[in-house]
Structure 1
Amino acid sequence: MDLISRAIESVRAGRANGRRLTGFGPWGMRFPAFVGIGFHIVLSGEAWLLAEDARPVLLRPGDIAVAPNGAAHGLARSPARLHDLPTFTRTDPPGNGQPEAELLCGAYRLEHGTLHPFLRDMPDLVVISPEHADDPDLASVTRLLEDDVAHAHDGNWVTRSALVDLVLVRALRQWQEGPDSNGAVRVTDPAITAVLDDIHERPEHPWTVQELAQASGMSRTQFNRRFAAEVGRPPMSYVTQWRLAHGARLLRQTSWPLSAIARQAGYSNEFAFASAFRREYGLAPGRFRDHPDPLPRQPLRP
């Protein structure tokens, strides 16, 4: 599995959400920081993307602004200081007449857990200007997501997750292939890539550093050093994070008993899994599964 797919899979412990936003008159809105990833697609008009310590960026129709690690940012009709913008809330009065701008937004918000290193180490905000003539599928996905957030249907959570995934994968792939991605997390060592594939495909296996080092064809010391340099954390720390993220996804997406999920996540029993899960996510697995929808029911704040 490639790095972008792993990163998107890791945020599925949260739930995907989407919303259409409109700006009227001298509009502007601030989106506070959060743990997760979100995006804005400009459907019509123009919008300025604002950050605390960066120059404003003008967004035009078709542009996609991504907040890979949930950094605070703003959108406005004209350049402004971020902290001067009002926080966007559901109580904002609707506008009248033709909107100045229309945007489609999507996000995964993680109430608990941590982001994948690929997302965490990306710039706070990135802007992609797709060539829709060369990527008609992206335009189709945008229309499908727009329809999905506009109408309540049975199965919305399933379709929305798939559509948000598609937008994010295509946007991140285009960014990664562009010149602005220098310094982004990329695993280029084929031996480390093969080890990561093994970890991702078999989180239930009782991995040890020695076994992973042997699989890579390196000494334990060399493997530890190279893995940390490529991935950004020690091998067993990564294994633990991936196992718990896998367990979190199973808690959200299945009705399996905790004992089965524990085995699938590489833990000998549900008590060991619950203890590790509580340290990582801050609450017990049962509460995580039963926790109310962590995404806001007010307009999206990616």
Structure 2
Amino acid sequence: MDILTEALGSMRTAHPFSVRTEGRAPWGLRMPPVMGAGFHVVLYGTCWLLPLDRSRGGAVALSPGDVVFLRDGRGHVLADHPDTPPVPAEDCPIDGTPPVGMVTLGGDGARTSLLCGNYHLDQGRPHPLVRQLPELIHLETRHGRHPELAAAVRLLGAELEQPRIGSAGIVPALIDSLLLYILRAWLDTQPPATAAGWAAALGDSAVAPALAAIHGAPATAWTVEALADRSGLSRAAFARRFSTMVGEPPMAYLTRWRMTTAARLLRESDAPLTAVAAQTGYGSEYAFAKAFKREYGQAPGGYRREARAA
């Protein structure tokens, strides 16, 4: 069971949105907050990523091949130089055709080319794996770092520079896959000796099998004892270890994943409520509806209608 893919899939509410930004110095772009998570890929040239509140510091210099992931989609500035006044992104018209629009701005100086966008993730109920990520992840792919991520960036750059037959299908798929490459590369940077939380849990010999069991069969009547048997630890030792790494006790996480799975089924399928209840471990539609309303604040049918209308 690929828990990273499952966790991200449970939060996605739509396909990624992306725009290619072509700037020539001097240029600056003020990016508004977005629902979900933001990302930038530097395809050519250099630039700066700056917080909206400059007094807090946090300026990041970006070079070709750099990838930035903003966990909460916070507002920020991209510019050729920290002192360049930015223009609001909403004031810059988007040209071009799908799969990626184009924004062009600035003067006649040095060129920078970026792919900017956001992943539509449900931040109302973020999976704890995503919630534990740093607010900003900056990954460099030069000099042999993160070869798989670097390969994805090169492929994206090639398709955007010279679109060919099939590019309309290739580019969205690469952007969609980029999120997994980013998070996998970040997880790889966490030294085993210092890794904590989900970064440690995904590779832990006791916790990882329990997570895989929950994700692989959420309808099973799991108990702490049954999950502990898979870990090779006593019930108490397993419960402590799981809670420390995952951030909540095993049964609380089981309920979370069942409700997350149910919400995804309601959004993405026409399965009747009895089938959704059975697939998430509830013996009756009534018991399922009661649990779902407790977690989401509304009945499953209302949630489905609201999600379809969005």
Q: Aligned residue for 2:277? A: 262
Q: Aligned residue for 1:73? A: 76
- For residues 1-302 of structure 1, the aligned pairs below 5 Å read 1-23=1-23, 25-32=26-33, 34=35, 36-51=36-51, 52=53, 53-79=56-82, 87-89=88-90, 91-93=91-93, 95=105, 100-111=111-122, 113-131=124-142, 134-135=147-148, 137-139=151-153, 141-143=155-157, 146=160, 160=172, 162-178=173-189, 183=195, 185=197, 186-187=200-201, 188-283=203-298, 284-292=302-310
The structural deviation recorded for 1:73 is 3.3
Output the CA distance in 2 between the equivalents of 1:54 and 1:213: 45
- The answer (yes or no) to whether the contact 2:282–2:288 under 8 Å persists in 1 is yes
Shift in CA distance, 77/13, structure 1 to aligned 2, threshold 3 Å: same
RMSD (CA atoms): 3.6
- The answer (yes or no) to whether the contact 2:267–2:307 under 8 Å persists in 1 is yes
Per-residue displacement from partner, 1:109-161 (whole Å, max 9, x unpaired)?
234642222221121111111148744641355248859xx99x9x97x983x
Q: Aligned residue for 1:299? A: none
218-227 vs 106-115, which moves further: 106-115
- The answer (yes or no) to whether the contact 2:34–2:118 under 8 Å persists in 1 is no
Q: Secondary structure of 2:274's match?
A: helix
Q: Which runs of 5+ in 2 are unaligned?
A: 94-103
- The answer (yes or no) to whether the contact 1:32–1:72 under 8 Å persists in 2 is yes
120-129 vs 2-11, which moves further: 2-11
- The answer (yes or no) to whether the contact 2:31–2:75 under 8 Å persists in 1 is yes
The structural deviation recorded for 1:217 is 3.6
Q: Percent identity?
A: 36
Q: Secondary structure of 2:59's match?
A: strand
Output the CA distance in 1 between the equivalents of 2:291 and 2:117: 30
The structural deviation recorded for 1:174 is 2.0
Q: TM-score, normalised by structure 2?
A: 0.74
Output the CA distance in 1 between the equivalents of 2:284 and 2:216: 20
The structural deviation recorded for 1:291 is 3.1
Q: Secondary structure of 1:268's match?
A: coil
Shift in CA distance, 68/132, structure 1 to aligned 2, threshold 3 Å: farther
The structural deviation recorded for 1:71 is 4.0
The structural deviation recorded for 1:191 is 1.7
Output the CA distance in 2 between the equivalents of 1:138 and 1:232: 32
Q: Secondary structure of 2:17's match?
A: strand
- The answer (yes or no) to whether the contact 2:19–2:116 under 8 Å persists in 1 is yes
Output the CA distance in 2 between the equivalents of 1:38 and 1:15: 13
Output the CA distance in 2 between the equivalents of 1:48 and 1:281: 40
Q: Which runs of 5+ in 1 are unaligned?
A: 293-302
The structural deviation recorded for 1:169 is 1.7
Output the CA distance in 2 between the equivalents of 1:238 and 1:167: 27
Output the CA distance in 1 between the equivalents of 2:82 and 2:191: 23
What amino acid is the match of 2:180? V
Q: Secondary structure of 1:190's match?
A: coil
The structural deviation recorded for 1:243 is 1.6
Larger radius of gyration: 2
Output the CA distance in 2 between the equivalents of 1:144 and 1:248: 38
- The answer (yes or no) to whether the contact 1:277–1:285 under 8 Å persists in 2 is no
Shift in CA distance, 176/218, structure 1 to aligned 2, threshold 3 Å: closer
Shift in CA distance, 141/258, structure 1 to aligned 2, threshold 3 Å: farther
Whose RCO is larger (CA < 8 A, sep 6+)?
1
The structural deviation recorded for 1:193 is 0.9
Q: Secondary structure of 2:304's match?
A: helix
Q: Secondary structure of 1:55's match?
A: coil
Per-residue displacement from partner, 1:194-213 (whole Å, max 9, x unpaired)?
11110010011122333323
